[in-house]
Amino acid sequence: MNRQFRSNGNFIRAKKSLGQNFCIDERIPNEIIKELAPNNDFSVWEIGPGKGALTKRLIETGADIHLFEIDKRMEEILESLCPKENITWGDFLELSQEELPKPSKPLLVCGNLPYYCGTPIIKRFLEKGPTPTRLVFLLQHEVAVKASVPVNHKEYSYLSVHTALFAKARIGNKYGPASFVPRPKIDSSVLIIEPFHLSEEERQKRINALKFISALFNQRRKIALSTLKRTFPETNWAEKFSKLGIDEKARPENISPEQFLELFTD
């Protein structure tokens, strides 16, 4: 596998540990731009711009751009595209909320995310904010599927419920390994997320519900009522199930996000 290539005269070896699979397929930025729909009424954050395959296209839209990149070797390339002060270097997940820039306009977020941190980045935006108008990411195909499927789907999981509690999500097109250098071993898909406008109180309620939902999906093949009785015995779960009309034999994958919300919030 060839992990060495040139860009702008720079010789950069892709680092596997940073999930560096650089996009060489124009269809990907085309789709991300179409779904994100940026213009000069928005601030746009791009996470993991790398060598700027998507960044160049974002700049053309006239939006205010801010980049977050962990790999300082990209400095020369990215600073040739965008002012220094619009780039934050470091691990996006390690930045505190206070360290994030304050967008001056409604926020859009995008990126071709490294496989190892796609899920925590989505969770961070949905749980902690800031709350963008839209997020459009290219992610590991399986993650994009899990984040967007409804109840009773075979891939319905903790991530499906997590996303559905805070946003509407849908999957876009799928791209194979040939769209990247070096070629990853897996497929990637576009995921479009439109967060709900929740009050702080409502958001906190949903975050509190996650501890129960996570306990259930840790034992996804078990009957949900039995897991709850065993793990959180202080509540009369049987009564709650019956009040809400949830089948007492339901497994976590048969309970909808709306039902989880009713079960685990007062």
Distance from the first to the final alpha carbon of the chain: 54
18 binds ligand SAM per the rule CB under 6 A: yes
Residue 210 sits at the vertex; the CA angle it makes with 265 and 107, to the nearest 5 degrees, is 100
Over the window 110 to 149, marking each residue x when it contacts ligand SAM by CB under 6 A and - when it does not, the resulting string is: --x-x--x--------------------------------
Per-residue interface string for the shown chain with ligand SAM, residues 79-108, x marking contact by CB under 6 A: ------------xxx---------------
Residue span binding ligand SAM (CB under 6 A) among the ranges 17-25, 146-154, 192-200, 209-217 = 17-25
Which segment (43-51, 77-85, 124-132, 166-174) binds ligand SAM by CB under 6 A?
43-51
Is residue 49 part of the contact set for ligand SAM (CB under 6 A)? Answer: yes
Q: How far is the CB of 6 from ligand SAM (least distance, A)?
A: 14
Of positions 31, 36, 45, 50, contacts ligand SAM by CB under 6 A: 50
CA dihedral (236, 241, 242, 248) in degrees, to 10, reads -110
DSSP string across 146-207:
HHHPPTTSTT--HHHHHHHHHEEEEEEEEE-GGGEESPPSS-EEEEEEEE----HHHHHHHH
In whole angstroms, what is the distance from residue 71 CA to residue 231 CA?
A: 43
Residue 75 in tokens: 């400095």
Identify any residues that bridge with 232 across adjacent strands, giving them in sequence order. Answer: none
Number of residues located near ligand SAM, criterion CB under 6 A: 23
The footprint of ligand SAM (CB under 6 A) covers: 18-23, 47-51, 53-54, 68-71, 91-93, 112, 114, 117
